[in-house]
Amino acid sequence: MAITSSNADPALLAPDAAASTNAGPAFSPLYQQIKTLILQSLQSGEWKPGEAIPSEMDLAARFRVSQGTVRKAIDELAAENLVVRRQGKGTFVATHAEQHVQYRFLKLMPDTGDTSSEGPADRHIIDCKRLRAPADIARALSMRSGDGVLQLRRVLAFQGTPTILEDVWLPGGPFKGLTAERLSTYRGPMYALFETEFGVRMVRAEEKIRAIAADAASAALLDVPVGEPLLSVERIAYTYNDLPMELRRGLYRTDTHHYKNELS
């Protein structure tokens, strides 16, 4: 079977073509090659977040493979939360704007009820400025030390209680034009703003969690006593091709909330 696409990588070969070369890379199953081609289209913005992608039949015709091969590729993309299947409607590019995924990366849950019952967070921007990236921030974002970054500090309050203190760093280039005013007036989740206005979609994240005691500054912003136990959560969020696009360091109150992670 041959694979043809305007976005195709010449290194992506059908099984017979791969077998005829002496190239070094190991053979990749056909459905993985199709998955890579679909990812290229997602990354290039051919299909935007929230939009439907072509049907399995259309994609099979486009890449000249079977529908079963396309289905297996899409199954993996769905398992990775990159696309969403909707019964009777088709397959859509996943988006952080959808209600059920708005808190996909936020694992802090109220001790009573759930995130929907406590309502959306009230967001207070404390600081938003552009600066040259310190070495540790540049390293986390795969940038050079001294490159431009946007630094944001904000407090998230639930039902009137300040609950999360966050410091966020974003690479300056992709987020040119992002201001404190825009962040304050946008009513949806921050990652949805990144998608719709800056064309950056966060597809996965890694976190490091440790317990700390609140110092004077964080205690004042979170309205807790100095020494109060807090969760320190450092998150790096990635867009396609494992490109880091955000470093977020948060301090979470634990007197009214807990960290919940589902393992499978």
pLDDT of residue 7: 42
Q: How far apart are CA 263 and CA 110, in angstroms?
A: 19
Instruction: Residue 107: name the closest of 264, 210, 257 by CA.
Output: 257
The residue with tokens 């890694």 is 206
Q: Counting beta carbons within 10 angstroms of the beta carbon of residue 115, is it exposed (0 to 12), middle (13 to 18) or buried (19 or more)?
A: middle
Burial-class residue 141 by CB neighbours within 10 Å (0-12, 13-18, 19+).
Answer: buried
What is the helix (H) or strand (E) element at residue 163, kind and residue range? strand 161-171
Is residue 202 within 8 A of residue 242, CB to CB? The reply is: no
For position 116, what pLDDT does the model report?
Answer: 63
Q: Report the distance separating Cα 97 and Cα 89, nearest Å.
A: 18
37's torsion region: left (phi>0), alpha (psi -120 to 50) or beta? alpha
pTM value is 0.73
pLDDT at res. 124: 93
pLDDT tens, per residue, the chain with 264 residues = 445 444 444 334 444 333 333 444 557 899 999 999 998 888 888 888 888 999 999 999 999 999 999 999 999 998 888 888 888 888 988 877 654 444 556 677 787 766 666 667 888 999 999 999 999 999 999 999 999 999 999 999 988 999 999 999 999 999 999 999 998 888 888 888 998 889 898 888 999 999 999 999 999 999 999 999 999 999 999 998 899 999 999 999 988 888 887 776
| Helix, strand, coil abundance in the chain, percent, nearest 5 | 30, 30, 40
What does the pLDDT read at residue 28?
81
**What is the Cα Rg of the chain in Å?**
21
